Amino acid sequence: YVPDTGSPVRVNQVGYLPQGPKSGTLVTEATEPLPWTLRAADGTVAATGTTVPGGVDPTSRQNVHTFDFSDVTTPGDGYTVEADGQVSETFSIRGDLYDSLRSDSLAYFYQNRSGIAIDAALVGEQYARPAGHLGAAPNKGDTDVPCQPGVCDYRLDVRGGWYDAGDQGKYVVNGGIAVAELMDTYERTLTADGAESAELGDGALRVPEHGNDIPDILDEARWELDFMMRMQVPAGQPLAGMVHHKVHDAQWTGLPMMPHLDPQQRELHPPTTAATLNLAAAAAQCARLFAPYDAEFADRCRSAAEAAWSAAKAHPDILADPDDGTGGGTYSDDDVSDEFYWAAAELFTTTGADTYRQALLGSPLHGDTDAVFPADGGMWWGGTAGLGVLTLATVPNDLTAGQLAQVRTVLTTAADRYAAQTEDQLYGVPYAPTGQNYVWGSNSQVLNNMIVLATAADLTGKAEYRDAVLRGADYLFGRNPLNQSYVTGYGERSSENQHHRVWAHQSAPSLPHPPPGSLAGGPNLTAPTSGDPEAAAKLKGCAAAMCYLDDNGSYATNEVAINWNAPLAFVASYLDDAGDG
């Protein structure tokens, strides 16, 4: 299998912000510098220069050069770069490049809501569908769901929430980071200069709750928060206050599968410490953000968070079973110290209570950049301490000046590393895992590192951090070894066959492609041996950043997921603001 990588001249196919850095990559066997020409849409030469030979890029095994046209700031569409006799995809130079991505990436969440009909008036006829999993036949849930045999003898109404990904499971671990990053997207508008709250406000996004005087992005977050609270073990039961790890079908369903036609039995899986701490953290953040809008809901979030924290302290080591993967993902995690840190950070920021400060200061993670933002990865669903650091570093709280400085140093030290990676790596990506181990959902690692950079940029005003975010965007929108934009509808060569049971046009032509703003998980070094049939057939021996297929069947490289679109939404919001400034 040889991928079609199109032109060897690689650029951000969406474009470049007028005041930002503008670089690209040329794949060539040449070892000496080569001339390049930037042309405007009418063919006139806008700039010329020579490439910088970079040698072999370890993530792709391609011999590459880089080129830079940052000095060009004239807005326009239809620009191209020519080098080595080849022409790039077209791109724009404009401040408003990411305007629609902010709302498109957030509409992903409404589109994946469970327990509510998806309204054609908001998303268009082709994406409208009946409510899924409300108990109407052939559905068996989620309004009255039993536990897996032997786990509990009660049933819960766990309607609502978002479907996790291409499957229709609902997982508290993963819901947590996703909803937190949406709340962070909103909270950033309260703390960062120039961040636009109106674009996330009531009436601005594709949600059905228009006119309730609550910012639309918080309405979207609430859909998931309500679900997470329903997953809490009721008072009077053993493990009261703990939170069930997940609810999903007893067996994996095939693809395509409309949610309202899923005939499988849904089951609650055992409570875990990790799920409990995800609720503690997310609900604590909910309490402070909803306080000005809905005091009753804010109180409910605060009580749920405090009950979850107490339960997790009483049961600190109930781990998810790594073999519990029939019908749904395991989301198993054998280290919950980071979830404790994150929950303590959110609870401390919301309540100021000393017990949470002590939990933070007593954590081995406190002040340890390598532990919070591991050099070979970054934040992810199984490593959430960074979410706590982002909050402590930016949201007003009662840390002493010294404690605050220490937390901010963790953030900027990590940001310095990611910024250096965008300078050192030939494709400019702020992600450099050890041994080129691009993980499942690697694009979300890139984006989570971009959140760290963006937050550091907001905090310090340093242009280096902003520039590194922009280089990360270049990678995601086409300046990469496959010449692939990983976001549906953005860029000339964008992904369109992501693994999803409804957006399964490739398998079922009457169904749509994913809507604009849907992020593919991206290159995954271990995809060929992960069970993914397409990856096994086509990607054996792939170079890390090329282990990707835009194929509906490739769930290990081309799925969509809430925890991947959430950092896209944060970053899109940041980029849109950056383009305005």
Structure tokens belonging to residue 518: 């849907």
Stretch touching ligand 9MR by CB under 6 A, among 163-171, 272-280, 357-365, 392-400: 163-171
Per CB under 6 A, does 249 bind ligand 9MR?
no
C-alpha atoms less than 13 angstroms from C-alpha of 109 in its C-beta half-sphere: 35
Amino acid letter, residue 521: G
- In whole angstroms, how close is the CB of 335 to ligand 9MR at the nearest point? 14
Check binding of 241 to ligand 9MR (CB under 6 A): no
| Choices 49-57, 283-291, 471-479, 555-563; region in contact with ligand 9MR by CB under 6 A | 555-563
Determine the 3-state secondary structure of 145 from DSSP.
strand
Q: Kindly state the tokens that stand for 272.
A: 């875990």
The active-site residue out of 269, 366, 499, 500 is 499
Give burial (CB, 10 Å; 0-12/13-18/19+) of 401.
Answer: exposed
Which of 164, 209, 219, 550 is an active site residue? 550
Check if 32 is active-site: no
In the bound state with ligand 9MR, the residue whose beta carbon lies nearer, of 165 and 578, is: 165
Note whether 559 binds ligand 9MR by CB under 6 A.
yes
Torsions phi, psi for 86 (to 5 deg): -125, 150
Under the criterion CB under 6 A, does residue 164 sit at the interface with ligand 9MR? yes
Nearer to ligand 9MR, 303 or 326 (CB): 326
CB atoms within 10 A of CB 71: 10
Count the Cβ atoms, other than its own, within 10 Å of residue 348. Answer: 24
Q: Which of 86, 45, 87 is nearest to 69 (CA)?
A: 45
Shortest distance in whole angstroms from residue 11 CB to ligand 9MR: 29
User: Catalytic one among 216, 551, 559, 576?
Assistant: 559
Q: Does 440 bind ligand 9MR (CB under 6 A)?
A: yes
With CB under 6 A as the rule, give the number of residues binding ligand 9MR.
Answer: 11
Q: Which helix (DSSP H) or strand (DSSP E) does residue 423 occupy? A: helix 401-424
- Work out the angle at residue 41's Cα, subtended by the Cα atoms of residues 39 and 42, and round it to the nearest 5 degrees: 90
Angle 219-224-226 from CA coordinates, rounded to 5°: 90
Token pair in block for residue 448: 């989570």
Min dist. Cβ of residue 330 to ligand 9MR (A): 6
Those residues whose C-beta lies under 8 Å from the C-beta of residue 292, and which sit 6 or more positions away, are none
The binding track of 400-429 with respect to ligand 9MR, each residue x by CB under 6 A or -, is ------------------------------
Q: Kindly indicate which of the ranges 132-140, 251-259, 481-489, 554-562 contains the residues binding ligand 9MR, using the contact rule CB under 6 A.
A: 554-562
Query: Minimum Å distance from CB 524 to ligand 9MR?
Result: 8
- Is 306 one of the catalytic residues? no
In whole angstroms, how close is the CB of 354 to ligand 9MR at the nearest point? 35
d(CA 307, CA 242): 8
Position of tokens 């807005």? Answer: 75
Select 441 or 516, whichever has its Cβ closest to ligand 9MR.
441
DSSP labels for 523-536?
A: --TTGGGTT-HHHH
Residue 504 found at the interface with ligand 9MR (CB under 6 A): no
For the chain, state the CA radius of gyration.
23
Q: Assess 257 for contact with ligand 9MR (CB under 6 A).
A: no
Strand-strand pairing, 91-93 and 15-16 = parallel
Nearer to ligand 9MR, 241 or 386 (CB): 386
- Smallest distance, ligand 9MR to C-beta of residue 417, A: 22
Give the whole-angstrom CA distance, residue 285 versus residue 402. 23
Q: Select from 13-21, 23-31, 162-170, 455-463 the region that touches ligand 9MR (CB under 6 A).
A: 162-170
Q: Does 441 bind ligand 9MR (CB under 6 A)?
A: yes
- Nearest residue to ligand 9MR, by Cβ distance, number only: 329
Q: Does 566 bind ligand 9MR (CB under 6 A)?
A: no
Helix axes 99-111, 216-230, angle to 10 degrees: 30
The region of 29-37, 164-172, 188-196, 471-479 touching ligand 9MR under the rule CB under 6 A is 164-172
Binding of ligand 9MR by 329 (CB under 6 A)? yes
Cα dihedral: 429, 434, 437, 441 (round 10): -50
DSSP 260: G
Residue 275 binds to ligand 9MR (criterion: CB under 6 A): no
Nearest-approach distance from CB 169 to ligand 9MR, in angstroms: 6
Q: Is 184 in the site for ligand 9MR (CB under 6 A)?
A: no
Q: Is 505 a catalytic residue?
A: no
Q: What angle do CA 449, 451, 456 make, to 5 degrees?
A: 100
Member of 165, 229, 279, 308 binding ligand 9MR (CB under 6 A): 165
187 is a site residue for ligand 9MR (CB under 6 A)? no
Burial degree of 574 (CB within 10 A; 0-12, 13-18, 19+): buried
Q: Name the 3-class secondary structure at 455.
A: helix
Task: Enumerate the active-site residues.
Answer: 499, 550, 559
Residues of the shown chain interacting with ligand 9MR in the complex, contacts defined by CB under 6 A: 164-165, 167, 169, 329-330, 440-441, 555, 559, 561
